[in-house]
Amino acid sequence: MISIREVGPRDGLQNEDPVPTEAKVQLLDALSGTGVRRIEAVSFVHPKAIPQMADADEVWRRARRAEGVRYSALVPNLRGADRALAAGFTEIEVVVSASDTHNRRNLNRSTEDSLADVTGLIAAVHAAGGTVEVIVATSFGCPYEGDIAPARVAGIVERVLGDGADRIAFGDTTGMGTPRRVRELLAAVDTVRGDAPVLLHFHNTRGTGLANILTALDLGVREFDASVGGLGGCPYAPGASGNVATEEVVHMLHDMGLDTGIDLERLLLAAALAEEITGRELPSGVLRAGPRYRTVAQ
């Protein structure tokens, strides 16, 4: 089974012009009905920083919770984690950039300062009965600093695991990842991660998203982020276009005989809804052309 975490409701919509709360709830509920087992629902950030997520509490309060779906919230710091816990989340994601420049642009502090905050955040979330996934952004490169040494990423992984992180994810924040760099990064972090679960998050900025996923599959990774319709990006990274589209990933994996538990037709309906909500054509090729098994009526 390949596990896909749908990040469109958070990562996708936070990069669009603000949409109504009801539309966010509709998309979240539609995705909950596709068979996807994990959804990144909202983020708890300062509304002045990311106004698109200012209604996170209301979205979560109004959303239907599907049985068997694990919902998570992204937070930038301990204050955000406290808000997420108060809202009822037990799966918390916190992001820190391997690039110090990007971390300052994204979180207004150095990578070292963020890592110091993560230490207390993990302890607080564990005390409340929750789990913490640390997402290392710009793992495959930074638009400000260029290449990021895999050894630097591995050092961050070793530190946060020492602090008790439950899971690790690696973000390709601006689509700088390639199959070669996926191999190099995984080789470096495998020396320090032990049994900690690993998830990869790819953008398709330069058209390498699916190739990177295939490479990671060959190396044993079984958990990936994807965003319905290809929504997403990064507001603090120039040129960061959308995430790899969930329906494109599912379409490819199912044709390979790999199970995701996701109903592709329902997922395409959710992608069409995302396109309607955002009011623009989304980049997903499978949404445009349909699955390969659809034929033209004679």
pLDDT in tens, 246-297: 999 999 999 999 999 999 999 999 999 999 999 999 999 999 999 999 887 7
Q: Using one digit for the tens of pLDDT, what is the confidence trace for 73-116?
A: 999 999 999 999 999 999 999 999 999 999 999 889 999 999 99
pLDDT of residue 238: 58
Tell me what the mean pLDDT of segment 223-237 comes to.
84
The predicted-structure confidence for 1-20, as pLDDT tens digits, reads as follows 999 999 999 999 998 889 99
Burial class (CB in 10 A: 0-12, 13-18, 19+), 144: middle
Query: How far apart (Å, rounded) are the C-alpha atoms in residues 172 and 72?
Result: 19
Beta bridge partners of 39: 6, 71
142 is catalytic: no
d(CA 76, CA 84): 11
Q: What is the mean pLDDT of residues 194-221?
A: 96
pLDDT at 298 over 90: no
CA distance 145 to 80: 27
Looking at residue 296, its pLDDT comes to: 79
Residue 239 predicted with pLDDT over 80: no
Among 27, 45, 234, 253, the active-site one is 234
* Helices 150-162, 111-127: inter-axial angle, 10-degree rounding: 30
- Output the pLDDT for position 49: 87
Q: What tokens were used for 89?
A: 């989340």
Helices (H) and strands (E) in the chain, counts: 11, 8
The encoded tokens of residue 140 equal: 């495959």
The model's pTM is 0.95
Radius of gyration over alpha carbons of the chain, in Å? 18
